[in-house]
Amino acid sequence: MIKKIIYVSLIITLTAACSKEEALSEQSVVEKNAVKRHHTELDNWISETFVLPYGIEVEYRWDRNSVQPGTYVYPPAAENVQSVLSTIKKLWIDLYTEEEWGGHDFMSGRNPVKIYLYGGKNVDANGVELLYTPHTTAAEMHLYNINDFDAANEEKVLVLMRSVQHQFAKRLLEIQPYDRDKFLSISQRRYSNSDTGEIETLFRTMRRKEFYGISSVANQNGFLTLHSFLSAEDDFAEIISAMLTHPPKAVTQALKIAGTPKEDPYDAEMQQQYNEEARTAHRELNEKLRMVRTYFQEKLHIDLDRMQHASSKRIKKFLEK
């Protein structure tokens, strides 16, 4: 009987101890979660500016231990986060949601689900700085160079917005597909990746603004930008990105360059080849521009040329502030 009483007492004691331990454990979890849920002024601003109106989450705090040694991929400095996000809000979301273009509800169903921010660069295996992160879903947007960003610097605003517009263009293409086979057939033989060394060489010899802007080298090959060489998808997205970050005259100039042959006054046969190359480049660039404009008109009900004018004015006004 005594043994039984001792056994029962022991069970009661152990049960009470376990309950206490569970309570402490639960409290500990609650406390930890409470810390995680603690919002700073920046978090509140992100919630009011991106999460609540557009359903876009922003990830700028992540585990530093996940950083690979020797890479540029690391968390951004918090003091630059709002400046970057404010810039893309004004030059991307506010543009598309203007009543004249997409309207207030345009982002609904088209918005990226989450935006990731990184302090350093986004480079591939060859050291070429890319506008997007390969092998990720178009429902996510990855933005780099946050620590180096300056909203008053035209070049840095250009590179940021080229990346934003490129990635959002791919999001649009995912939701409302284009005729890939038809588009691919225009410049199919010209596509390559940075592994060929050509783009890598240009990247290392050109100024950053020139490499990310509308390029004469690209124009002479039937493209607007150097990143267009990477694939048909990149090419299509780059036309949208380049048009919405450059004034209309830049595209007009690109077509002019594409149609202007190189000159060889000493070799008539070579000159004939140059003339044919220029005609081909001009035709291909024109065809692709026409396809992108048609896509915008038919799929999004937006006049891309008029939107380009509006975007150009918006960027100019932003930089003048």
Looking at the predicted structure, is the pLDDT value of residue 299 above 70? yes
Q: In one letter, which amino acid is 130?
A: L
DSSP state of 220: T
Looking at the predicted structure, is the pLDDT value of residue 194 above 60? no
- 50 pLDDT band (50/70/90 cuts)? very high
- 262 pLDDT band (50/70/90 cuts)? very high
- Using CA atoms, how far apart are residues 141 and 187, in angstroms rounded to an integer? 27
- Using CA atoms, how far apart are residues 299 and 192, in angstroms rounded to an integer? 28
Share of the chain above pLDDT 70, in %: 82
C-alpha separations of 305 from 175, 213, 252, 308 in Å: 22, 18, 12, 5
**Which structure tokens are listed for 236?**
């299509």
Please give the mean pLDDT across all residues of the chain: 86
pLDDT per residue as tens digits for the range 110-167: 999 999 999 998 887 777 788 888 888 899 999 999 999 999 999 999 999 999 999 9
Cβ distance 146 to 168 under 8 Å?
Answer: no
DSSP codes, 254-289: HHHHHTS----TT-HHHHHHHHHHHHHHHHHHHHHH
What helix, strand, coil percent values describe the chain, rounded to 5? 65, 5, 30
What is the structure's pLDDT at 197? Answer: 59
pLDDT per residue as tens digits for the range 3-32: 444 444 444 444 444 444 444 444 443 333
pLDDT per residue as tens digits for the range 55-100: 999 999 876 555 555 556 788 999 999 999 999 999 999 999 999 9
C-alpha closest to that of 169 among 119, 252, 243, 100: 243
pTM across the whole model: 0.84
- 33 pLDDT band (50/70/90 cuts)? very low
At 58, give phi and psi (nearest 5°).
-125, 125
**Which structure tokens are listed for 219?**
């124009």
Q: Are strands 140-143 and 57-59 parallel, antiparallel or unpaired?
A: unpaired
pLDDT per residue as tens digits for the range 172-188: 999 999 999 999 999 99
195 compared with 285, residue with greater pLDDT = 285
Partner residues linked to 63 by β-bridges:
none
Distant-in-sequence, close-in-space partners of 213: CB < 8 Å, separation ≥ 6: 158, 225, 242, 246
Distant-in-sequence, close-in-space partners of 147: CB < 8 Å, separation ≥ 6: 76, 77, 80, 119, 120
What is the structure's pLDDT at 11? Answer: 43
What is the structure's pLDDT at 130? Answer: 84
What is the structure's pLDDT at 25? Answer: 44
Neighbouring CB atoms inside 10 A of 249's CB total 9
What is the structure's pLDDT at 208? Answer: 77
Cβ distance 314 to 250 under 8 Å?
Answer: no
| HEC assignment per residue over 84-152 | HHHHHHHHHHHHHCCCCCCCCCCCCCCCCCEEEECCCCCECCCCCECCCCCCCCCCEEEECCHHHCCCC
